[in-house]
Structure formats: C-alpha cells, structure tokens
Amino acid sequence: MKRTVSAVAVSALALTIGLSVTPATATASPDSAPQGMVFVQNDDPAGNQVVAYRRSADGSLHQAGTYPTGGRGGTLDGAVVDRLASQGSVTYDKAHRTLYVVNAGSNTVTVFGVAGDRLIRRQIINSGGTFPVSVAVHGAEVYVLNARAGGAVQGYLSVLGHLVPLPSEHRALGLPVTTGAQEFTHTPGQVVVTPQGSSVIVTTKAAGNSLVVFGRSGLGHLTKAPVLVDDAGNVPFAATFDHFGHLAVAEAGTNTVATYAVERGHRLRLLNRTATGQMATCWIAGAGGNYYLSNAGSNSVSGYHAEHDGSPVALGNTATGEGTVDAAVTPDNRYIYVQTGKVGAVDAFRIESDGSLTKTSSTVVPNAAGAEGIAAG
C-alpha cells in the first residue's frame, strides 16, 4: 500500500514525536519463562492505565508494569460489567510492535511502543469523534470507532510508530442517538477490517441493528457511502473472521452467532445463524479454525469450530468468573484470556487440540472492575 503524506503532516508528526515519547519502567516479576505478553486496560475515569503481564508457558500471568495512558476512561450509561460495551478497545499490532488503547472519557487514543515487556508511550491523539471504543489495524492503516453522537470512523496512517489523521477518511455513521439506561446497547460496538483489506465493517448493536460495510481501495480510501446489511432484532455486537475468511458475528439480541461470506461489491451474504443457548452473547474471539463467544449473562464461553461452508460446530460451553466480557487469543492459538467484568479479572484457558478449554489461572487486574479491553502478543 502506498499513500502520500504531506510535508506539513510529517513536520507535525516530527514535533509530536519530540513531545510525546515517555520512557516506561516495568516492575520485575519472578516468571522465568515468558512466552509473550497480555495487555489489559482498567478504563479508570480518573486516569486510564494499561497493566502489562508476562505470560508463562502454562498460560499464567505475571504483572510486568502499569502504564498511564495519559487519558481518561469512560462509561456508557446503563453499563455494569462492560463500561465501553465494545470489542477491540485495546489492539496490538504485532508486526509493528505497537499497542493502541482508547481513552473513551477524553476522546483520545494512546499509542504505545512495545519493547520486550515494557511499554513506551509515543503519542496521545484525538480520536476523531466522541467516546472511542474500538481500533482496527490493516498494514499501515488504523481505524478508530467512536460510539457517541451517532458514531464515526476515523482513519489514520501509521508513520514511524505514530498516527497521522487522514481527514478524507472520516465517516460519520449517522446512527440514532440514545441516552439513559439503554445507551450501552444502542451504540456501535466494533470496527474490523476484512483479512484481504477490501472492506471496513462496523457492528452497530441496537443503534442500527445492522452491519455497516465501507469499501476500501488498494490505497486505503474508504467509499463515501457504505453498504448496510440488515440484522433486524439481532443486535450485532462484535465480530471476527474464521480461517476461511468468513465473518462471524456475536449477536446479543438473540444470543446467536451469525456467519457471513464477504462478497464482491462489499456485500455480505448470510451463511448460518446458530443459537448459543446462553445469555448476553456479546463478544467473540477467533483462534485459527475455532472461535469463542463470551456470554456475560451466563458467565460462560461458547466454543465453535468453523466449517468451510460457514456453519459452526459446537465445542461446548466453559464456565468463567462473573460477567464474561472481552477476550484475546495468543498468536499461536494456544491460550485464550477472558475478562470477567464483575471483579475485573482475567481467566486464562488452554485451548486443547479438540478446541475445548482448560482453565489454568485467574488474575485480578488492579482497579479494573467493569472494565474491558484486552490484547495478547
């Protein structure tokens, strides 16, 4: 992908780099065999923080450090165990060793560099809207979803580990605005990019009961008008892709998982819809040929194997702590880390060869009750 950045933008970026780099100090842990990292935000309205954990070969977590984002967390009205009611609020770009964290209460995104088990704060940048809740990365392009004021997607170009906002890649969603106790179910939930980069997709939850699909050119430009895929009554909350490239959507209204084929013209074709038999099925995490859905109302995770025709084969339900919310899978697809919002813990599970889950540990994240946002690297 190629995109021209103006000299003014580069100069501004250079100034930002000079002002925003913050050294980080990590607290040592006794873990002797680190296999990677897990990052969790606490979404604190008084000052958001990322807690970084080393993960051991057995999946257990060992705290490596706590890093202020320089922004504030936020809470949607009506939310209890999921203040942001979203997926993807913490996103790790492994290829560029960069971590993106939303600050919903201050309408900003923090960019961290990942150096071993340490984080280095590089930049705090405006999210291009109100109440950012989700970040998606494809190559050098980064997209941020803002949830309030009808919702909006803002595109950025990543240059030298910093974000340059692209005014031409701002798309207002124009969703109905709901206030009061129903706000958390009536705001958009996630932004994702298709594996080949052809489309950017937004889940709208009950705000639109639809999937909003923007086409994306080879240069990263979004189409002006999206394709709207009706999902009436199902409340599409979060999404991932299986290893065949099918879109899998967690639908909170009907507690189902729906799968779609991504077709030409930025259109989606429904392949299958399967009930989980659980309550508040809102989040979904892909793990190679499987995906796992978090059921906040049942305190469980539902596993499925993805077939080539898009049909999901049930792998069973696994109990978690109370208030099952966001989840992250390790790059080798061996472990899944599931947030439980009531006490702000992370439950670790080993993914067995048959797709079943075996719990290995549970870790309480400091000051993270009700928070969500997790990434594994």
**What are the residues facing 56 on neighbouring strands?**
34
Q: Which residues of the chain are under the pLDDT cut of 70?
A: 1-34
- Three-state DSSP at 42 gives coil
Among 2.130.10.10, 3.90.1300.10, 3.40.190.10, 3.40.50.300, name the CATH number for the domain at 21-376: 2.130.10.10
Residue written as token pair 């190559």: 139
Confidence (pTM): 0.92
In tens, the pLDDT along 329-343 reads: 999 999 999 999 999
CA 235 to chain centre: 17
| pLDDT given at position 10 | 40
- Three-state DSSP at 128 gives coil
CB 238: neighbour CB atoms within 10 A?
A: 28
> Which residues, 6 or more positions from 173, have their beta carbon under 8 angstroms from its beta carbon?
150, 151, 152, 153, 188, 202, 204, 208, 212
**Cβ-defined contacts of 6-11 (< 8 Å, 24+):** 9/164, 10/159, 10/164
Task: Kindly write down the DSSP assignment for every residue of 252-278, as one continuous string.
Answer: TTTTEEEEEEEETTTEEEEEEEEE-SS
In tens, the pLDDT along 131-153 reads: 999 999 999 999 999 999 999 99
- Three-state DSSP at 10 gives helix
